[in-house]
Amino acid sequence: MSSNPVFKPGNTAVITGGASGIGLALAAKCASYGMSVVIADNNSANLSSAKSSIKGKVETVEVDVTKISEFEKLKSKVEKDYGGEIHLLALNAGIGLRGSWEDSDYFQKIIDVNLFGVIYGLNTLLPLVTSHSTASHPSSVIITGSKQGITNPPGNAAYNASKAAVKTLAEHLSFDLSKSSPTTSVHLLVPGWTFTGLSGNDPSKKGEKEKPKGAWWPEQVVDYLEAKMEEGKFYVICPDNDVSEEMDRKRMLWDRQDLVKGRPPLTRWREDYKIEADEAIKNMKI
């Protein structure tokens, strides 16, 4: 049993990108608490594997998150089969690609999945989350972001932009729901280095068979998420075996100071600032 009433037996969880990685780990946790779990994903092979690997009330639905029409079908299914109530909505679907400034497909694909996959989910499913939420039976929305959408390291502009936009959406959603549906909590999940199919957004690392020592398992991320939800935290910034919570905070603070102090962007990675940045972060007091 979880002390968080969102994870109550009989409640319904809907998880996009739920057939692998962090989404699958979250689906397994929800099912272990006796929740009804709807896994939405566009990978039919992963969906089949997910359904067979999780014990409990689990249904899989093939959904392309880049199409609002498919979210409408998912909404209709929840209304028909689950009483029109979602207690935990996790908008977790995401892809990692690399491309150049001349590659419009690279930008389009990432924005469609990572950003509009969240927007369309909120457009269609949010009313099923908030309409029944009360103090004794609250609901939660989890949106998966990325540290790359916060500290913005060079090398993957489209991915970083998509996750920066997701962060902004989640922040606004939290603010708005604090007024219109205060019993619906919002959580921005920002994983650290996690051993998943996405492999840190580096396509060259897909298919790695052994977890690197520095990475967390998806289950560790989900355990950390649950603990922070229990604490009422919006920002769930996960550490990993290489980067501590303190180091994350120092890096984020240095990044914000680029703007405040009038420095060029991304100074942490610029050769003429690198020594200064490393020393400042090392000695920074949080």
On whether the CB atoms of residues 22 and 45 are closer than 8 A, the answer is no
Q: Which stretch of DSSP H or E encloses residue 39?
A: strand 36-41
pTM equals 0.94
Q: Which pLDDT band, with edges at 50, 70 and 90, does 56 fall under?
A: very high
Q: Where are the domains of the chain?
A: 12-242, 244-285
Distance CA 186, CA 178 (A): 9
Using CA atoms, how far residue 221 sits from 10, 142, 165, 204, 246, in Å, is 24, 13, 22, 22, 17
Distance CA 149, CA 63 (A): 25
Q: Which pLDDT band, with edges at 50, 70 and 90, does 208 fall under?
A: low
The whole-number pLDDT of residue 210 equals: 85
Pick the CATH number of 12-242 from 3.30.70.1350, 3.30.9.80, 3.40.50.720, 3.40.190.10: 3.40.50.720
Q: Which pLDDT band, with edges at 50, 70 and 90, does 150 fall under?
A: very high
Percent of the chain with pLDDT over 90: 93
Q: Which stretch of DSSP H or E encloses residue 108?
A: helix 104-110
Confidence check: pLDDT of 121 > 90: yes
To the nearest 10 degrees (0 to 180), the angle between helices 218-230 and 21-32 is 60
Q: Which pLDDT band, with edges at 50, 70 and 90, does 202 fall under?
A: very low
Q: Which pLDDT band, with edges at 50, 70 and 90, does 207 fall under?
A: low
Q: Which of the 8 DSSP states describes residue 112?
A: I
Tokens 């962007």 belong to 265
Distance CA 248, CA 239 (A): 7
